[in-house]
Amino acid sequence: MREIIKITIALTISCLLAGTLIGITFIFTAKAKQQNEHLNVQQTMFALLGYGKSRPAPPELRLHQVHRYIVKDGDKMRMGYMVPVRKEDGEGYAFVVLDLNGRFLEHHSLDITPDEALSDEDRKKALMRVLKDPAEFEFSDTMIIACMGDERTAYLVPGEFPGFKTFIKAMVALDTDFKLLGLEVIEHEEDPGLGGEITQDYFKNQFVGKPFDTLKSLTVVKEPLPADYERYLRSMGTEDSGLSARQVAEIQKHYQDKDIYALTGATISSAAVTDGVKAMTRKFAYRIQILDQAVDAGNVPVLF
């Protein structure tokens, strides 16, 4: 009997020690993780808009985040957008509620600071204060509107879609006519060397410059990537492409409406990215138009 008590005590102490150690590490790393993630996303967004170390973003550039929520009010479903707005005392946030057909219903002013607005939890609390009735709401996604001063210049749309192995997280940049400005794969678990090549410039840059009408019906073709096109894709964004301006223009014109060339040995991953980008762009274009109309209809003083 003493044996059992001894064993139990020993195991309990070890478990407690292990738990404490893990707990401390968790507390210590959780903050750093959040910060790093935030920093990564920020960098990706600037890179997609064409800013980087060599070309710093101008101070007038503002990235406005719009958070979309699905609001359930009884058995009725509504859409809620949390948007940055102008207020008497500076800038703040408002919650715009639309019905499923995109008609403006109401808007609430939110009591939340810009720092708090970055955190999912704080946003939830602020929304709880406004939507008092037993309304349920659920966060769906965030889209980013880039403005230069008061003028809208681009959209950044993060998204997630199933790849060959697991989900692929990506972000696309669109201009105001929904022409694709850039694609970045943020997270993926495709096979290295095969599907993993979706992160390579020569694949990603094929999407760049595709107009919205082409994007809508984009598919992949199982053909080898033409050599001149590959050279152009790899050199995109760098200074020394080795191609003359006329050649570049010709290549751009020739391939602008072409489908995406699939990666060797990874057609499924290539098609997954293509379909994902297509769906992300189409859904975003649909939503932003509705949101713009609703914001106009409700006279919400939005910042974008």
Residues found near other proteins in the complex (CB under 8 A) = 3, 6-7, 10-11, 14-15, 18-19, 21-22, 25-26, 29-30, 32-33, 36-37, 40, 70, 77, 79, 98, 100-102, 140, 162, 165-166, 187-189, 191-194, 196, 216, 264-265, 268, 275, 279, 283, 286-287, 290
Comparing CB distances to other proteins, the nearer of 92 and 155 is 155
- Strand order, beta sheet including 76-87: 104-110, 90-99, 76-87, 61-73, 136-148, 151-162, 167-175, 180-187
Contacts with 295 (C-beta within 8 Å, 6 or more apart), sequence order: 83, 96, 104, 302
Distance in Å, CB of 91 to other proteins, minimum: 26
Comparing CB distances to other proteins, the nearer of 39 and 249 is 39
| Separation of CA 241 from chain center | 29
Contact 83, 93 (CB under 8 A): yes
Distance in Å, CB of 7 to other proteins, minimum: 5
Distance in Å, CB of 74 to other proteins, minimum: 14
As a whole number of Å, the end-to-end CA separation of the chain is 73
Main-chain phi, psi angles of 30, to 5 degrees: -60, -45
Tokens representing residue 257 in the block: 């409406």
Comparing CB distances to other proteins, the nearer of 87 and 216 is 216
For residue 83, give the nearest of 270, 273, 254, 291 by alpha carbon. 291
Contact 206, 197 (CB under 8 A): no
Alpha-carbon span 156 to 141, nearest angstrom:
12
Distance in Å, CB of 269 to other proteins, minimum: 11
Comparing CB distances to other proteins, the nearer of 92 and 190 is 190
Comparing CB distances to other proteins, the nearer of 20 and 113 is 20
Alpha-carbon span 73 to 135, nearest angstrom:
5
Distance in Å, CB of 39 to other proteins, minimum: 10
Comparing CB distances to other proteins, the nearer of 252 and 264 is 264
Distance in Å, CB of 100 to other proteins, minimum: 6
Comparing CB distances to other proteins, the nearer of 187 and 292 is 187
Contacts with 303 (C-beta within 8 Å, 6 or more apart), sequence order: 62, 64, 83, 84, 85, 86, 91, 147
Alpha-carbon span 225 to 261, nearest angstrom:
6
Distance in Å, CB of 188 to other proteins, minimum: 8
